[in-house]
Structure 1
Amino acid sequence: MPYIDLDGIDLRILNALQSDGRLTNQELADQVGLSPSPCLRRVRRLERDGFIRTYRAVLDREAVGLGLTVFVEIKVEKHSRDNAQALQEALLGMPEVVACHMVSGTADFMAEIVVPNLKSYERLLTEKLLTLPMIGDIRSNFALTRVKSDAALPLTHLKREGIKSEPDC
C-alpha cells in the first residue's frame, strides 16, 4: 500500500465532508478543531492531492423517476485489450450506467444501470448494449430493494497504517 500522508485532522475533515459536503469552512473548522484559515488550506491540499475528487448532490433515484436499478454482467466476446477498451468507452458514454467495474469471475464487467422502468431497460439493452460487437454475453440482475448505496468510504484503516499522529498546521 502506498504511503498516505494524512493525520488525524485530515481524517476528521474527510469524514465530515463525506457526511455533509455543504459544510461552510467555518462549520468544518469548528467540527475538526481548527481555525478557518488552516482548515481551508488543508481542504485545498486534500483536493489538490486527489483525496477529494469532487463535490455533488446525491439525488433520490425514485424521486427523479429512476425506479429501476439493474446490475448487468457483461462478458467480452474475444478477449483483447482493444475490445476491453472499446467496451469501457461505450459504457462511459451511456448516462444510464452510473457505475462500472472490470471484475474477475464469470463476467468481465459489472455495470450498475438506472432507468425509469423495464421498458426503458429493454430499449437500452436492445438499442445500445446488444449492438456492441465486442459483447459475447449479458446477464441482467434486477434490484428488488436498495439496502445500502451512496455510503461514505470507511477510513478506519488509515488510523493504523501510514498516518502521522501529530497534525501539522
Structure 2
Amino acid sequence: MDHAMKIDTADAQILNELQANSRITNRELAQRVGISPSPTLERVKKLEREGVIEKYVTLVNPKAVGFGTFTFVQVTLMRHGQQSILSFIDSVNAMEEVMECYHVTGTADFVLKVTTRDIEAYETFVVQKLTEIPGVQQLHTMVILSTIKHKTQLPIQPTEESK
C-alpha cells in the first residue's frame, strides 16, 4: 500500500479493537464499535482488500518456547551498490534467527533484531551465518538485557478528512 487510506471513526475503532484482539467475533466487534454486524463485516473485508489489515497473527511468549537471547545487530557493508544491498537482504531473509531487518541511515547500513535460545546459539549464528554473508564488513552487537516497552498496536485515529 503506497498511500494512506482515509480512516473514519468506525474504521479506526475496528482497527484498534482488532489490534487488541484479532479473535474477537464480528458480533462483539460490531457491538463495541456501535454499528450492526453486517456493515462491520463489510468494513473489515474492505480494510483487508485495501491492505490496511495485512494478516492476523498470534503473539508467542519467546521465553515460554525457549528463546532467551535477543540482540540488535548493526551491520556495515563493504559496498553500497544495489547488488550488494539486494544480496545482503536475500541472505538475511533466509535466516530464521533474524526477526526484523531495517535499512537505516547513520554509521551502519542495516539494523537486525535477532533471537536465539542463548548466547552460545547467538555466537554460532554470528560465526556460521552472519559473517559468512559476502560483503559484510563490520558488526556491532547490542544484547537486550530487558524489554521496557514492546507494543504491536498502532495508535490509529480517524484521518482529518474522515472525522
TM-score, normalisation: structure 1: 0.91
Contact residue 88 and residue 134 of structure 2 kept, 8 A: no
Deviation (angstroms), 1:3: 5.1
**Contact 1:74–1:135 at 8 Å: present in 2 too?**
yes
Q: Secondary structure at the match of 1:99?
A: strand
Gaps of 5+ in 1: none
What does 1:1-169 correspond to in 2, within 5 Å? 2=3, 4-156=5-157, 159=158, 161-165=159-163
Q: Which SS does the other structure have where 1:29 is aligned?
A: helix
The one-character-per-residue Cα deviations of 1:92-143 (angstroms, maximum 9, x if unpaired) are 1111111110011110000000110001001110110011111111111000
**Taking structure 1 as reference, are residues 81 and 162 closer, same or farther at Cα in structure 2, changes over 3 Å only?**
farther
CA shift, 1:162, in A, is: 4.4
Which amino acid is 1:58 matched to?
A: L
Distance 1:91 1:162, change over 3 A: farther
TM-score by length of 2: 0.95
Contact 1:58–1:150 (CA<8 Å) still a contact in 2? no
- Percentage of identical aligned residues: 33
Q: What is the aligned-residue RMSD (CA, Å)?
A: 1.4
